[in-house]
Amino acid sequence: MTIKEKYIPGLEGVIASETAISFLDTVQEKIIIKGQDLIALSKSNDYLDVVNLLLEGELPSSSEKAVLEDKLKKDYDLPDAVIELLKLLPKQTHPMDAQRTGISMLAGYDDNLDDRSPSANKHRAFQILGKLPTLTVNSYRVLQGQEIVAPKPDLSYSANFLSMITGKLPTELETKTFDQLLLLYSEHEMPNSTFTARVIASTQSDIYGALTGAVASLKGNLHGGANEAVMHMLNEAKSVAEFEELMLKKLQKKEKIMGFGHRVYMKKMDPRALIVKDALKELSAKTGDNQLLEMCEAGERLMESEKGLYPNLDYYAAPVYWMLGIPIPLYTPIFFSARAAGLCAHVIEQHENNRIFRPRVNYIGKAY
Ligand SMILES: CC(=O)SCCNC(=O)CCNC(=O)[C@H](O)C(C)(C)COP(=O)(O)OP(=O)(O)OC[C@H]1O[C@@H](n2cnc3c(N)ncnc32)[C@H](O)[C@@H]1OP(=O)(O)O
Ligand SMILES: O=C([O-])CC(=O)C(=O)O
């Protein structure tokens, strides 16, 4: 038995890839996407700009953006059999599992599946992004025993997505807020789900398989599932005092508080959370309902003083989703739908410059 290199649990700080897609620059406190600052983009651009940036390498001109939106709209519809398959799922199925099943099934409709070229991958990435709002919303509705809803191509991409979820025509502020969430969730360097997708893609497996694996990764509450867990905690408490009490009880029991901490930003607030906190303030001011904002701010103060931990994006995204009228089981599927843009860019990059991931272990089993 030979001694291997030092094992680092969770691969903290380990470089897993070279990428031209994104980088969390903790020194300059910037989230870099293809050379652009995501936080700055979230203030002046929209989700489709970032989709274009991720998949075409540039921010689009207004005519390029119109072409992109049109392309996505042409792919809004799902094969009927996908809906039929979703209807067969047990009613207790989590919408993330339904979304995972639907994405997996889409591979069967790709008659060019073995082509891993960047252009073929990009083409299917746009098809998948077009279908994701319809798949995400209807997989939830089928499980609820509700009628299937059709996409509305006369609305913008984000307004259509939100309107399919709520069944209402969103206001300008609601669409802007939802679109900003999609943008902020679109890409984040090498989280577990992106690593998962790249590991799968590195076997020369296809983009559908890589995304299917990424949905499974994102479901866990240490990753994307945290946004749903945060909202359940807020609902359980109902007031500032009860929320503080609930958090203290969890900390006493050494439980993790969902929505706090981050592998990369552990001692600072996730810069995306700051933007979404402002969105929560805006929604609260507009509706005159400050309850969730006050609870979240109290929770933030408590975690800073008790643990020196700060909110991540999921902490403030949860109450914003709630105020937009989005059902809790859709929070993580929406995160995935937004992240699919970044994930597709990573799969394309992995296929373009591939070596199969195959690390080694330090054996600690029985002597031999
Ligand atoms: C958009 C996203 O996906 S962001 C991530 C969403 N996930 C969550 O919000 C889940 C809650 N947070 C966590 O579990 C973690 O902070 C993670 C998974 C995000 C990062 O995990 P790691 O980098 O492995 O940090 P790790 O879990 O080792 O935590 C380090 C220390 O901080 C503590 N800690 C970290 N996060 C939390 C938390 N949310 N609540 C309480 N304590 C925490 C740990 O208990 C640990 O303490 P110890 O050293 O005394 O044992
Ligand atoms: O970067 C991470 O580990 C998790 C995260 O915030 C994300 O995927 O958006």
Average pLDDT per 10 consecutive residues for the chain, totaling 368 residues: 79 96 95 98 98 98 98 97 97 97 98 96 98 98 97 98 98 98 98 98 98 98 95 96 98 98 92 98 97 98 97 98 98 98 98 97 95
pLDDT confidence of residue 2: 64
Distance of CA 366 to CAs 6, 102, 363, Å?
20, 43, 9
Which residue is catalytic, options 94, 188, 262, 346?
Answer: 262
ipTM of this complex: 0.98
Tokens found for residue 272? 């995306």
| Ligand 2 nearest atom to the CA of residue 189, by list position | 1
Q: What is the DSSP string of 112-154?
A: TTT--SHHHHHHHHHHHHHHHHHHHHHHHHHHTTPPP----TT
Active site residue 123: no
Q: What pLDDT does 304 receive?
A: 97
What CATH class does 30-220+336-352 carry?
A: mainly alpha
Q: Has 314 been annotated as catalytic?
A: yes
- Pinpoint the residues of the chain covered by CATH 1.10.580.10: 30-220+336-352
CATH match for 226-323 among 3.90.600.10, 1.10.230.10, 3.20.20.70, 3.10.350.10: 1.10.230.10
Phi-psi domain of 362 (left: phi exceeds 0; alpha: psi -120 through 50; beta: other)? beta
- Where exactly does CATH 1.10.230.10 map onto the chain? 226-323
Greatest distance between any 2 Cα atoms in the chain: 69
- Any idea which residue has 């669409």 for tokens? 175
Select from 276, 108, 88, 84 the least CA-distant residue to 177.
276
Which atom of ligand 1 has the smallest separation from the CA of 224?
Answer: 3
Q: Which atom of ligand 2 is nearest to the CA of 193?
A: 8
280 CA to centre of ligand 2 in angstroms: 20
- Please tell me the residue having the least CA distance from ligand 2 atom 5: 191
300/298 Cα distance (integer angstroms): 5
Q: Is the pTM of this model over 0.90?
A: yes
